[in-house]
């Protein structure tokens, strides 16, 4: 079974790489192929949860509405892989050129991915993005670096 786990982990890492590529290519249809139809996303944008692949894609469409050119970086991805479910966590940063010509280096967020193996394909069934909170001020801390 260790060989299968290594194969599954490699496939999951490829799925994360596809997110990076498809965001760069502004490919909503391609992104759709990476999520389960009933994905639940706890993203940085309101509301508290986004349910279903269409809601998740709306978040990415919002990014494309603001950014002319998108870059997405995933760092320090750690995975735990079971037979048909897996989870991982990483740091991620969305950056690029805004539609007004301004470039932004973005901010680092904490990202958690939960995968479900459907057939032979690992799909994202849940994701969560967050920033640390300064409890005293109630404000997110968006200037931290991994």
Q: What is the pLDDT of residues 92-138, one digit of tens each?
A: 999 999 999 999 999 999 999 999 999 999 999 999 999 999 999 99
From CA 18, how far away is CA 12, in angstroms rounded? Answer: 10
For residue 8, the SS3 value is helix
Is the entire prediction scored with pTM above 0.85? yes
Q: What is the mean pLDDT of residues 39-60?
A: 95
Q: Between the CA atoms of 15, 125, 30 and 4, what dihedral angle is there, to the nearest 10 degrees?
A: 30
Q: What is the mean pLDDT of residues 22-38?
A: 97
Query: What is the per-residue pLDDT for 4?
Result: 86
**Residue 33, both tokens:** 């192929």
Q: Which residues touch 115 (CB under 8 Å, ≥6 apart)?
A: 12, 15, 85, 86, 87, 88, 122, 123, 124, 125
From CA 35, how far away is CA 6, in angstroms rounded? Answer: 21
Query: What is the per-residue pLDDT for 1?
Result: 61
The beta-carbon contacts of 14-18 under 8 Å, at least 24 apart in sequence, are 15/115, 15/122, 15/123, 15/124, 16/74, 16/77, 16/88, 16/90, 16/113
Q: What is the pLDDT of residues 2-21, one digit of tens each?
A: 788 899 999 999 999 999 99
Q: What is the mean pLDDT of residues 60-70?
A: 96
Q: What is the mean pLDDT of residues 87-91?
A: 98
Q: Which CATH architecture group holds 2-133?
A: Roll (3.10)
Q: What is the mean pLDDT of residues 31-38?
A: 98
- pLDDT-derived band at 34 (thresholds 50, 70, 90) equals very high
Query: What is the per-residue pLDDT for 113?
Result: 98
Query: What is the per-residue pLDDT for 2?
Result: 77
For residue 116, the SS3 value is strand
Query: What is the per-residue pLDDT for 3?
Result: 82
**Residue 135, both tokens:** 């409890």
Query: What is the per-residue pLDDT for 115?
Result: 98
Q: Are 122 and 12 in contact (CB under 8 A)?
A: yes
């Amino acid at each position: 079974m260790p060989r299968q786990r290594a194969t599954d982990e490699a496939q999951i890492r490829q799925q994360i790489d596809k997110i990076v590529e498809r965001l760069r290519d502004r490919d909503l249809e391609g992104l759709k192929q990476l999520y389960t139809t009933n994905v639940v996303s706890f993203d940085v944008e309101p509301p508290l949860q986004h349910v279903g692949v269409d809601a998740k894609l709306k978040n990415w469409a919002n990014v494309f509405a603001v950014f002319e050119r998108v870059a997405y970086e995933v760092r320090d991805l750690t995975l735990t892989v079971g037979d048909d479910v897996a989870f991982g966590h990483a740091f991620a940063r969305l950056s690029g050129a805004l539609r007004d010509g301004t470039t932004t280096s973005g901010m680092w967020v904490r990202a958690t991915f939960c995968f479900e193996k459907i057939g032979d394909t690992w799909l994202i069934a849940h994701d969560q993005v967050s920033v640390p909170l300064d409890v005293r001020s109630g404000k997110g801390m968006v200037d931290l670096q991994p």
